[in-house]
Structure 1
C-alpha cells in the first residue's frame, strides 16, 4: 500500500507531568503511516523559570524531527541571548543553527548518533511555548473568552503573500500551492535542496528555517495550550479541538488520556486522505495562581485562639442563652 499500512498502528506512547505552574500530557501514535516521523520534547522545568514544549513533524524522513527533539532546546538554553533574558533572539538563532548543523560536518556526526538513514533531511516545527517568562508582549488576550480558541501560529503555506514573495525572489516558484511544485510548506529545518542560493542569507532562501516569534502574556482565564502536528489539524479546526478538549476535561483528569481520545476521534476508518497521518499532541494546562496572602490569613484565622476579651464575651453570651432557656 505504499506509504500506508494494511491496518493502522494504534498503540500510543503517552506521558504526563507537572510543576508548580502547569500540568501537561502528551501522546503520539503512528496510525496508518508506514513509518513514524513525528517527535516531541517536553521539559516543564528547562530551568527554574522556563518550560519548553515542542512537536516536530518530519516529512520524507524522521531524522530532522528526532534531531530537533534531542538538541533544539539545548541550543536555546545555552544561547547568550537566552541568558540575557531575550527569548525571541535565542529561539530564532537556535532554529537557524539547527538548520546549519544539518549541512555542516558537526551536524552529520550528530545525526549519525541517532542511528537513522540519512537519505532525506526534512522537518517542520509545529509549536513551542515558554512559560511564564516572556521577553516582550506582542499580543494581550485578557478580553478573550476562556472558551474561545486563540491561534498562536499561522501555517507557513507557500501561497501566502509573504512566503510567495520570498520564494520568487530566491529563484523558486509556487505551483499547485507547493514550492517548486513539490513541497507544501515554505519554512522548515532541513530540505536543503531549497537552500542552495549562496548569494542569499538563510532567512531569504526559497525555504527558510527562520521562525515567526510570537509572545503572548497569559492571564488568569487562559485554561490550556494545545500543540499538535497536522495529523490533528487536518481533521479538526482550532475551535473544534478546543471545544472537544474542554468537554473531555469535565470527566477526565489525565491529560495524556485526552490526547489519546483526540487520536481515536481523528483516525480514519480506512487508508488514504485525512486521518491517516502520524499523530502527536501535547496538552498543557495552566494552574491557577494561588493568593498566598489570603490563604495564609485564612489559616491564621482558623488556628488562632480567642483573645481573653472575646472569650469573656462569648462565655457571657452563652450564660445569657442558658438563663433564657431556663
Structure 2
C-alpha cells in the first residue's frame, strides 16, 4: 500500500461559525494518504476583539500538527507583546515557543498523548524516533513546568509541520507563515498572496541552510525535507552556536500585516494539498463561483476538496491530505481608506503589490 490507500478516504470533517465581524467554514479530508496528518484551529472569538485561524500540515507523523493546533493560539495570548497590542511579535514568539515546549519530559508526554501509534517494544511514538545525545533544558519559565523523567533530555520530535496562521483584530489582518501552507485574500475578485511558500531553493532559504551547515539535494534539505521552515523537525535545529532563526530549518515565520477594506471579500488558508492542484487565482475564482450557489462556507470548502482530489495516484497531485479554511469578511466593519503594510521576519523591502501568480510571492495590496 505504501503511502497511499487503494481507495481514497473522502469523508470530511467540516465546521462553520461566525461573529459580528466575519463568518467562516472549514473542511479537511484524508484523501489518498495512508494517514491524516493535517490539523487546524478556528477561534472566531480568541478574545473580545480578535479572531484566530490556523492550518498545520504535518510530515513524518501527525503529532506536531496536533500539538500546534492545541497550543499555538494559547501561546499567542500569553506573550507580553500581545498584551501590548503587537500581534506580529506575539505570533512569532508563539511559533518558536512550540519547539521549546516539545522538548523534555513534559514535551514527550504531551506528544505521546496526541499520538496514537506506539510501538509496545520500544515505547516510541510516530515522529519521536530520534534519541537526543545531550540535554537542553532551556525552557522559559511559565505554566509549562519542567518535568523530570526518562525523557527529560528529549530534544524534540523528528516529525514536524507547516504553520500558516491568520489573526484578525478589528480591521487588521496579521498572517504568519512557516512552510508551504498558504494564505490568500480575494480583493475585488483578484487573488493576493499573504504568505510565501518556503522551499529550500529560494535564495534566502538556501543561504541560511548552507551557512548553518546543511545542504540541498534534489530540492530537499539534506536530501530529505522539502521545506525550509517548519515547526518541529528538531534534527535540523541542533547547531548550538546559532539562534533558532538561523538553524538549517527554522520555525521563524514571515509576517504580513494588512489593513482590511471594503474591497476585501474573503481569505483562504489551506495546506499544499490544495495549492498543488490550484493556483491562488484559480481557487479564488472557484470560490466566487461557488458562493453564488452556496451560502454555507464549509460546503464551499468541501467542493474545493472534491475538485482537487485526484482520480488515481498515478501523478501524485491531488493525492495529499487536504485542509481549507474560508473566512468571509463583514464589510460593514471595515474602513473606507485602508492601507497595506508588509513586514517579514527577513525585514523585506516593500514593493508595489501585484496580483498572485502561479508561483506565489509574499504580496498584498492596498485598495
TM-score, with length taken from structure 1: 0.84
Equivalences, count: 285
Give CA-to-partner distance per residue, 1:155-207, whole Å, 9 cap, x none: 00101111000000000011111111111100000111111111111000000
Map of 2:9 onto structure 1: 9
Secondary structure in structure 2 of the residue aligned to 1:215: strand
User: Are positions 1:224 and 2:262 aligned together?
Assistant: no
> 1:266–1:288: structure 2 CA closer, same or farther, 3 Å change rule?
same
Pairwise CA distance, 1:79: 1.2
Which structure shows the bigger proportion of residues in strand conformation? Answer: 2
Pairwise CA distance, 1:12: 0.6
User: Are positions 1:124 and 2:162 aligned together?
Assistant: yes
Give CA-to-partner distance per residue, 1:89-132, whole Å, 9 cap, x none: 11111100101122233322222332434341211113423233
Map of 2:238 onto structure 1: 196
Separation of aligned partners in 2, 1:129 and 1:86: 12
Q: CA RMSD in A?
A: 1.8
> 1:128–1:116: structure 2 CA closer, same or farther, 3 Å change rule?
farther
Larger mean Cα displacement after TM superposition, 263-272 or 202-211: 263-272
Larger mean Cα displacement after TM superposition, 110-119 or 163-172: 110-119
Map of 1:108 onto structure 2: 108
Secondary structure in structure 2 of the residue aligned to 1:149: strand
Larger mean Cα displacement after TM superposition, 77-86 or 38-47: 77-86
Pairwise CA distance, 1:290: 6.2
Unmatched segments (≥5 aa) in structure 1: 138-143, 292-326
User: Are positions 1:71 and 2:71 aligned together?
Assistant: yes
Moved over 6 A (4+): none
Secondary structure in structure 1 of the residue aligned to 2:191: coil
Pairwise CA distance, 1:145: 5.2
User: Are positions 1:96 and 2:89 aligned together?
Assistant: no
* Residue 283 of structure 2, aligned match among 228, 241, 249: 241
Map of 2:85 onto structure 1: 85
Map of 2:153 onto structure 1: none
Mapping for residues 256-267 of structure 1, pairs under 5 Å: 256-267=298-309
Separation of aligned partners in 2, 1:132 and 1:110: 34
Separation of aligned partners in 2, 1:64 and 1:270: 28
Separation of aligned partners in 1, 2:81 and 2:279: 35
> 1:58–1:251: structure 2 CA closer, same or farther, 3 Å change rule?
same
Contact 2:171 2:261 in 1 (8 A): no
Separation of aligned partners in 1, 2:240 and 2:44: 39
User: Are positions 1:164 and 2:175 aligned together?
Assistant: no
> 1:216–1:242: structure 2 CA closer, same or farther, 3 Å change rule?
same
Map of 1:280 onto structure 2: 323
Separation of aligned partners in 2, 1:67 and 1:236: 28
Separation of aligned partners in 2, 1:131 and 1:9: 36
> 1:133–1:47: structure 2 CA closer, same or farther, 3 Å change rule?
farther
Unmatched segments (≥5 aa) in structure 2: 118-124, 128-158, 176-185, 335-367
Map of 2:360 onto structure 1: none
* Residue 212 of structure 1, aligned match among 247, 254, 261: 254
Greater Rg over alpha carbons, structure: 1
Pairwise CA distance, 1:135: 8.9
Secondary structure in structure 1 of the residue aligned to 2:23: strand
Separation of aligned partners in 1, 2:211 and 2:18: 46
Pairwise CA distance, 1:136: 8.8
